[in-house]
Structure 1
Amino acid sequence: MATLPPNAHVSTHPCLQAKLSQLRSASTSSKDVQTLVHEIALMVGYEALASGLASIDDGTDKSPLGYTYTKTTVSPSSSSISLVPILRSGLSMVPALLSLLPAPVPVHHLGLYREKATLQPVEYYNNLPYHGPTATNPHAGGPAELAIIVDPIIATGATACAAIDTLKDWGVKKIIVCAVLAAEGGLERACGEWPEGVQVWVGGCDKEVDEKGMIRPGLGDVGDRLFLTLGK
């Protein structure tokens, strides 16, 4: 593997690598694809959040035996974190990341697809709250301190870069990208979009993409495999 940027992190966990190998197989059923993506997302997310969050004291409580202990929570706080799945396959990673965080966080969806001829991303949906709280809508939220992008695949890197740019324009201070698999070139491109503000964590990294922009050997079209739309 080529020397990757310092903000690129490729897991070497043996159990993750074994699950990734299972996910690569064309014989793996849609149900098992969903399970494997979830499990890999848990493992990638666990590593990413260990690096991207800090633990802080949060008052005291009592144990079942009546002993006082210091409660712990995370920084940034849950109210300052947004989870951003890239539609549609990013939805498969949302439950895993939510289960890792100690409290619920807002989930803001971005819809991006690659135009077939140019392989460039086209945004078709965005529900980021661009306006802060107002008198008529006190629950509206402004930009998060930390945004966590989830998308199983980073192939050419164009979609990841578009999402990073959107969130940077929104005003986030820091971005963590979690993916199941990346291509080397796409991973480098995503890491270079905002080097001081972005950390990219992936389960594995393949050498290249083919002429259609698909990772080789890769995982195929993960969205189609997840949602049984192969051959559409």
Structure 2
Amino acid sequence: MSEPLPPNAHVSSHPCLQAKLSQLRSQSTSAKDTKTLIHEIAVIVGCEALAHGLSTKETGTDTSALGYEYTTQTISPSHISLVPILRSGLGMVDALESLLPNPVPVHHLGLYREKATLQPVEYYNNLPYHRPSTTKPGPSELAIVIDPVIATGQTMCAAIDTLQEWGVKRIIAIGVLASEGGLRKAATRWSEGVEVWVGGCDAETDGKGFIKPGLGDVGDRLFSTIGK
């Protein structure tokens, strides 16, 4: 990398993840194996991100299977939303849900990249209330945004803007792969409120906004729609 990444941008060095990422890059990897690898990489990155971004708090006491009393704990904050960016973010939902100890709301954001300008266009927003309200349930304290690829960074920045407008206090963005420029852009969009965690980072994108060597169109690879 040309210079150090921002302190809120994190790239995993886990050896198992790097081996799986190498498998995922291959054009010969099937849709079924792509889904499995995305899930497994998301679990590893998610563990690293949530270990850093969450804490625990005591909730009371319970009795163990041997009859001993112990102190119970849960995660903090407890008011969390999971926000997959459609389509490819759907491939990471099960992984993050498996890590969290309790069910959390899943709010989908639909964003696509306009081909000529490479700018994001929002076509779907499943946040319960787009703006904070004094009469309706407020926004989550923490939003976990998931999208396998952070290429130009524009889509992730658009998601961060939307969640800021909703009123979240913090955002953890989790991806499988990013470009260096995209990772910097996402991390600096709201540097005091966002932590970005990815499994790998490639140097650049091509003229179509795809990461080189990258992963290709992950949505197409996940849902067998290549050549649509």
**CA deviation map 1:83-105 (0-9, x unaligned):** 00000100010000011001000
Alignment map for 1:149-160 (pairs within 5 Å): 149-160=145-156
Q: CA deviation at 1:65?
A: 1.0
Work out whether 1:162 is the aligned partner of 2:147: no
CA distance, structure 2, for counterparts of residue 52 and residue 14 of structure 1: 22
**1:216 paired to 2:217:** no
Write out aligned runs for 1:51-66 (5 A): 51-66=52-67
1:127 is displaced (CA, Å) by 1.0
Residue 114 of structure 1 corresponds to which residue in structure 2?
Answer: 113
Does 2:98 align with 1:102? no
Q: Aligned with 2:93: secondary structure?
A: helix
Counterpart Cα distance in 1 of 2:44 and 2:137: 29
- How many residues align structurally? 225
Secondary structure at the aligned position of 1:212 is classed as coil
Partner of 1:137: none
Distance 1:54 1:12 in 2: 23
Partner of 1:67: 68
Change (3 A) 1:106 1:141: farther
For the residues of structure 2 that align with 1:204 and 1:133, how far apart are their CA atoms?
A: 41
Q: 215, 218, 227: which is aligned to 2:223?
A: 227
* Alpha-carbon shift at residue 132 of structure 1 (Å): 5.4
CA distance in 2 between counterparts of 1:219 and 1:231 reads 16
Mapped to 1, the partners of 2:134 and 2:162 lie a distance apart of 20
Look up the equivalent residue of 2:110 and give its one-letter code. Answer: G
Say yes or no: does 1:50 pair with 2:45: no
Counterpart in the other structure of 2:122: 123
Distance 1:37 1:169 in 2: 29
Displacement of 1:141 after TM fit?
3.4
Structure 2, unpaired ranges of 5+: none
The whole-number CA distance in structure 2 between the counterparts of 1:65 and 1:28 is 47
Counterpart of 1:209 in structure 2: which amino acid? T
Q: Write the distance in 2 (CA, Å) between the matches of 1:97 and 1:133.
A: 30
TM-score normalised by structure 2 residue count: 0.97
- Between the aligned partners of 1:132 and 1:86, the Cα distance in structure 2 is 24
In the alignment, residue 42 of structure 1 is paired with which amino acid?
A: V
Stretches of structure 1 lacking an aligned partner (at least 5 in a row): 135-139
Counterpart code for 1:154: I
- SS in structure 2 at match of 1:199: strand
Question: Letter of the aligned partner of 1:71 in structure 2?
Answer: T
The answer to whether 1:177 aligns with 2:178 is: no
Q: Distance in 1 between matches of 2:90 and 2:53?
A: 21
Give the C-alpha shift of residue 142 in structure 1. 2.0
- 1:70 CA displacement: 0.3
Structure 1: distance between partners of 2:219 and 2:171: 23
Q: Does 1:189 align with 2:185?
A: yes
C-alpha distance in structure 2 between counterparts of 1:115 and 1:13, whole Å: 34
3-state secondary structure, aligned to 1:231: coil
Query: How far 1:169 moved relative to its partner?
Result: 0.6
TM-score (norm 1): 0.95
- Give secondary structure in 1 for the equivalent of 2:28: coil
Cα offset, 1:133, TM superposition: 8.4
Runs of 4+ in structure 1 off by over 3 angstroms are 131-134
**Secondary structure, counterpart of 1:31 in structure 2:** helix
> Distance between the aligned counterparts of 1:161 and 1:141, measured in 2?
25
Instruction: Work out the CA distance in 2 between the residues paired with 1:93 and 1:208.
Output: 24
Aligned to 1:20: 21
